[in-house]
Chain A
Amino acid sequence: AQSVTQPDIHITVSEGASLELRCNYSYGATPYLFWYVQSPGQGLQLLLKYFSGDTLVQGIKGFEAEFKRSQSSFNLRKPSVHWSDAAEYFCAVGYSGGGADGLTFGKGTHLIIQP
């Protein structure tokens, strides 16, 4: 079965600094990869997704992510964070064989922004 690992439970970044959130997946074939963001007490919002093609994908709110097959990774990046980026971030993976049971989510990374 596929799995998703987000190694960092919490990350603290100063406002204006760059950000990278890590995501590793385990699945043999080409995965479908997603990053979601969740503000406290809210639902999840899609930031970006990767299906095929260009391995660097652009998303909303200035985020981007790069798919690296050799490393089984799909790390999320942002050049300069804003205080409003403080939230929980989830990486998710789907597989091409079916997907009837939806996506598999990582346990999330809590992003804290220091002034």
Chain B
Amino acid sequence: DGGITQSPKYLFRKEGQNVTLSCEQNLNHDAMYWYRQDPGQGLRLIYYSQIVNDFQKGDIAEGYSVSREKKESFPLTVTSAQKNPTAFYLCASTYGGANNEQFFGPGTRLTVL
């Protein structure tokens, strides 16, 4: 079955450490997105990528980095520069364009200890 996988489901990190969240899709989608979700804040866009080897900052990119070396993969690194990284992170993909629905992964909950 096609879909989006995110791993791990739960992640714990000590302050000052970088951590990488995985996102893989086998839907042959061109565009991929990373969102951060906090209670009462909805979804906020961190980074997005329309094609391989290209990506753009979203609304809250500071303290995060991404790469898009393969069409199927769009990993997100939460760096030590991110002041408040504890949150639920969602990855999504789409064929591209505003009229196409986004398909979401199950999410990763990151907790900084």
Contact = CB atoms under 8 A, between A and B. Distances in A.
A79 B107 CA distance: 31
Interface string A16-40: 0000000000000000101010000
A42 B107 contact: yes
Interface string B70-110: 00000000000000000010101010111111111111010
Task: Give the interface SS of chain B, mostly helix, strand, loop or mixed.
Answer: strand
Given A32-B99, A42-B106, A100 B42 contact: no
A43 B91 CA distance: 9
Size bin of chain B's contact surface: 20 to 34
A41 interface: yes
Interface string A95-115: 111111111011110000000
A44 B41 contact: no
29 contacts: A9-B40, A32-B99, A41-B107, A43-B4, A43-B104, A43-B106, A44-B90, A45-B104, A46-B103, A90-B42, A92-B102, A94-B98, A94-B99, A96-B99, A97-B98, A99-B100, A100-B31, A100-B50, A101-B48, A102-B31, A102-B45, A102-B92, A102-B94, A102-B102, A105-B35, A105-B43, A107-B41, A108-B40, A108-B42
Interface of A: 9, 32, 34, 36, 41-46, 49, 51, 90, 92, 94-103, 105-108
Interface of B: 4, 6, 31, 33, 35, 40-43, 45, 48, 50, 56, 58, 88, 90, 92, 94, 96-107, 109
